[in-house]
Amino acid sequence: MRTHILVTGGAGFIGSNFIRFLLAQRPGVRVTNLDSLTYSGNLENLTGIDADPRYRFVKGDICDDAAVSPLVAQADAVVHFAAESHVDRSILDSRPFVVTNVMGTQTLLDACRRAWAGNADRRFLYVSTDEVYGSLPLDRPELKFTEETPLQTNSPYSASKAAGDLLARAYHHTFKMSVLTTRCSNNFGPYQFPEKVIPLFVTNLIEGKQVPLYGDGLNVRDWIHVDDHSDGVLCVLERGRPGEVYNLGGNNERSNLELTHAILALMGKGPEMIRPVADRPGHDRRYAIDATKALRELGWTPTRSAWPAALERTVRWYADNPTWWRRVKSGAYREYYAKQYGGG
């Protein structure tokens, strides 16, 4: 078992849930969390973990080699979540996406190459996304993304993630580093920044506001609970084959309209709370993951994503934690929301 794991982006949604999951599942492990605390990084996501002697937080930028190199040298493995993660923001300004998702990944990979000097026991896991595969048509429900599906990115976000994904692959092939890649579908669960659809809609409804629904609402996503994603990342880290890509998905396809109606029903609200807004430019129509490889090779199964129970638990978490999201939704968030959805 790897005992000292460097997690990048551990103050974000998935990274913080992963650290919580990892410390609970592997008592012998130590974790260093490297995060620069951008708008989406929040140390309150780690409340309760921060006092654990096995956990350490380091504020730093993954693009800064002086911050990265000593941490990498101390670690047995790197699990790389840190990223600019929101498609809509990449449409407003793609530059931070290229800087963090491409240059930051390159900085980390290079630091590992130097510090680990060919030691294949040390592992680098790149957390990629199903969005690198592009979009599936709505009228071909039998089609799903496999690990062999060509990368056909459509947004600046997915293009920057694909660049990091291919760099990770290149470091395996060229330098024989033990690199692994996961490509996961849309996550939901606690501590998700409320620019993403589920916490955005749930918290808007609690505040008595309408929910802004893009276009015709028929775009389909494959929803996975963040704990199933964390479990998949841990399985790949411990048992995956170096150089391989593993798809992870919840086997839980829903259109945005279906998702919206499910949230409205859980919260006792009607369809008048939907505010149709202009579609996202270049909006991918459908994502669907075939996770057979992770299922067969690693015995991973998403057991926590089934609806409606998983969605209901998530809605309840936001209802029970207003202090967390009210603070997140104040300040700069308001400007972003007004720019994106025209207020309301």
Ligand X SMILES: NC(=O)c1ccc[n+]([C@@H]2O[C@H](COP(=O)([O-])OP(=O)(O)OC[C@H]3O[C@@H](n4cnc5c(N)ncnc54)[C@H](O)[C@@H]3O)[C@@H](O)[C@H]2O)c1
Residue in 133, 157, 337, 341 annotated catalytic: 157
- Quick count: other Cβ atoms within 10 Å of Cβ 241? 11
State how far the alpha carbon of 264 is from the alpha carbons of 27, 217, 272, in Å.
40, 14, 10
41 binds ligand X (CB under 6 A): yes
Catalytic status, residue 44:
no
- Quick count: other Cβ atoms within 10 Å of Cβ 18? 27
Write down the least CB distance from residue 103 to ligand X, Å: 9
38 binds ligand X (CB under 6 A): yes
61 binds ligand X (CB under 6 A): yes
How many residues are recorded in the chain? Answer: 344
Task: Give Rg (Cα) of the chain.
Answer: 19
94 binds ligand X (CB under 6 A): no
Output the six-digit token pair for 296.
């067969």
DSSP code of residue 102: I
- Contacts of 142 by beta carbon, 8 Å cutoff, 6+ apart: none
Rounded to whole angstroms, the Cα distance separating 265 from 145 reads 31
Each residue 97-126 as x (binds ligand X by CB under 6 A) or -, in order, gives ---x---x----------------------
Binds ligand X by CB under 6 A, chosen from 7, 71, 83, 234: 83
Catalytic status, residue 312:
no
Pairing of strands 220-225, 253-255: antiparallel
82 binds ligand X (CB under 6 A): yes
Rounded to 10 deg, the angle between the 309-320 and 197-206 helix axes is 50
Nearer to ligand X, 127 or 273 (CB): 127
Catalytic status, residue 126:
no
Which among 58-66, 145-153, 277-285, 314-322 is the span making contact with ligand X, rule CB under 6 A? 58-66
Which residue sits closest to ligand X, CB atoms considered? 12
Write down the least CB distance from residue 243 to ligand X, Å: 20
Task: At 115, give phi and psi (nearest 5°).
Answer: -75, -35
63 binds ligand X (CB under 6 A): yes
- Where on the chain is the footprint of ligand X (CB under 6 A)? 8-9, 11-15, 35-38, 40-41, 61-63, 81-85, 100, 104, 127, 129, 161, 184, 186-187, 193
**Residues annotated as catalytic (active site), given as ranges:** 130-131, 157
